[in-house]
Amino acid sequence: MILYRYIGREILLTTAAVTSILLLVIVGSRFARFLGRAASGRISLDALGHLTLLYMPYAAQLILPLSFILALMLTFGRLYMQSEMAVIQASGVSQRQLLKFAFVLALLLAGLTSVGSFYLTPWTQEASARLLEEQRSRTGFESISPGQFTAIGSQAVYIDRLSDDQQLLHQVLLAETRDQQETLVVAQRGFQQLEPETRSRFLVLQEGVRYTLPSTDLSLMQLDFAQYAQRVSQYVPPHIQQQVSMLPFHALLGQDSIEAQVEWQWRLALPIMLLVMVFVALPMTKVNPRQGRFMALLPVLLCQMLYLGGLMSLQDMMMKESWPIWPGLWSLHLTFLALGLFLCWRREVLKP
């Protein structure tokens, strides 16, 4: 039907526009964080683009439900403002039929969100974790510039020259403050060494002197060495919650741990939230042309934020075992579904 194609096109185009803007803002913020890590030497510059790209599916699955509800509100609000809705209803199209059509569109977007939540996001998180681990095992000297102090871990490093393959440092000065004790190390050469068992990264210095600077007792300690190893980073294995977040959906269903059960409820929560919010948002689009179409936008956005924030809070509470796995997140879904059905009944949206 021409009417449904017209409304559907408006909703989907607005959804795409809102998603693009919000994705640009959120991904830009994440890119700034990755840039800070690159500046501190924790990741190399060539990994920035890959990590940012791998973050996009996770951000998109959070943004898509909000974008669709905003698009629904803006499109139907405009129809009421320009009195097009009065013509549509006079043509025999009821609000119940429009609700069915909006729900069908929501099913399509929920299916897209499910693909991202069930499979694409876990795969990108696993790839991101592998890339970060790969970065930890690299030299870590890409960000060091000769003639400048650079932070590597908790130490400040100054070098006179760096080899062409960025594997060997020449004329190294290393300064560290730990437990109110200042240490200064001067060496002729330095290179990185990765401990295979602990996966900790060491800066190995050769032919130098280690000074323990005076503190309260004004004593200076000097140690000449042929080779000296200073740990600059320590491997921290991923938490079990991070491990289950990288598993595909079918693998989660075969596990009985609390973390796995919470994770698959969370992955289902985003598509379900999109469907439930249709019943909350559509009745609120019915506004008086004199009020403006943005009159009902704020309450719906508030409901959406409360819904998403409530899901995240319950997820955290379930991880800490302060909220039961059952009903778990379903209690919040049923609460907002009841609210949506009440609004539909109150605004007579369900009438044939």
- Across residues 323-338, what is the average pLDDT? 93
Place 37 in a pLDDT band, splitting at 50, 70 and 90.
confident
DSSP result, 27-57: HHHHHHHHHHHHHTTSS-GGGHHHHHHHHHH
Contact in structure between 280 and 306 (CB atoms under 8 Å) = no
Domain that holds residue 178: 149-233
Please indicate, yes or no, whether residues 228 and 244 belong to a single structural domain of this protein.
no
Per-residue pLDDT band at 3 (split at 50, 70, 90):
confident
Instruction: Examine the domain organization and report whether 303 and 279 are in the same domain.
Output: yes
Within 10 A of 46 (CB to CB), how many other CB atoms are there? 10
Q: Is 254 helix (H, G, I), strand (E, B) or coil?
A: coil
Q: CB atoms < 10 A from the CB of 288, how many?
A: 9
Q: What is the mean pLDDT of residues 238-258?
A: 77
Task: Examine the fold and report which residue of 200, 233, 266 is the final residue of a domain before the chain moves on.
Answer: 233
Q: How far apart are CA 214 and CA 318, in angstroms?
A: 51
Residue 30: HSE in the Cβ half-sphere, 13 Å Cα cutoff: 19
Q: How many domains does the chain fold into?
A: 2
Among the candidates 214, 233, 252, a domain finishes at 233
Choice among 35-44, 73-82, 256-265 with the minimum mean pLDDT: 35-44
Distance set, CA 270 to CA 169, 309, 311 (Å): 50, 12, 9
3-state DSSP assignment of residue 225? strand
Question: What digits encode the pLDDT tens for the residues 117-144?
Answer: 998 999 998 898 888 877 766 645 666 7
Of the pLDDT bands very low, low, confident and very high (cuts 50, 70, 90), residue 22 is very high
CA distance 151 to 158: 9
Give 90's pLDDT tier (boundaries 50, 70, 90).
confident
Name the nearest CA neighbour of 174 among 157, 192, 189.
Answer: 157
Question: Are residue 108 and residue 254 in the same domain, yes or no?
Answer: yes
61 lies in the same domain as 116 = yes
Task: Say what the pTM is.
Answer: 0.77
CA distance 350 to 343: 10
Same-domain check for residues 249 and 298: yes
pLDDT at 107: 96
- Closest of 242, 137, 141, 151 to residue 199, by C-alpha: 137
* pLDDT value of residue 157: 85
In this structure, are 228 and 319 located in the same domain? no
User: Are both 131 and 174 inside the same structural domain?
Assistant: no
Task: Determine, yes or no, domain membership for 144.
Answer: no
The verdict on 128 and 68 lying in the same domain is yes
pLDDT at residue 143 in the model = 62
DSSP string, 327-341: TTTHHHHHHHHHHHH
State the pLDDT confidence band at 153, using cuts at 50, 70 and 90.
Answer: low
pLDDT of residue 278: 95
Examine residue 215 and state whether it is found in any structural domain, yes or no: yes
Sheet with 168-178, strands from edge to edge, namely 149-152, 155-162, 168-178, 181-194, 201-212, 221-233
Domain boundary among the residues 233, 264, 295 is at: 233
Which pLDDT does position 257 carry in this prediction? 82
Lowest mean pLDDT across 58-62, 108-112, 232-236, 303-307: 232-236
Tens-place pLDDT, residues 158-206: 888 888 777 788 888 888 877 777 888 899 998 887 777 777 778 888 9
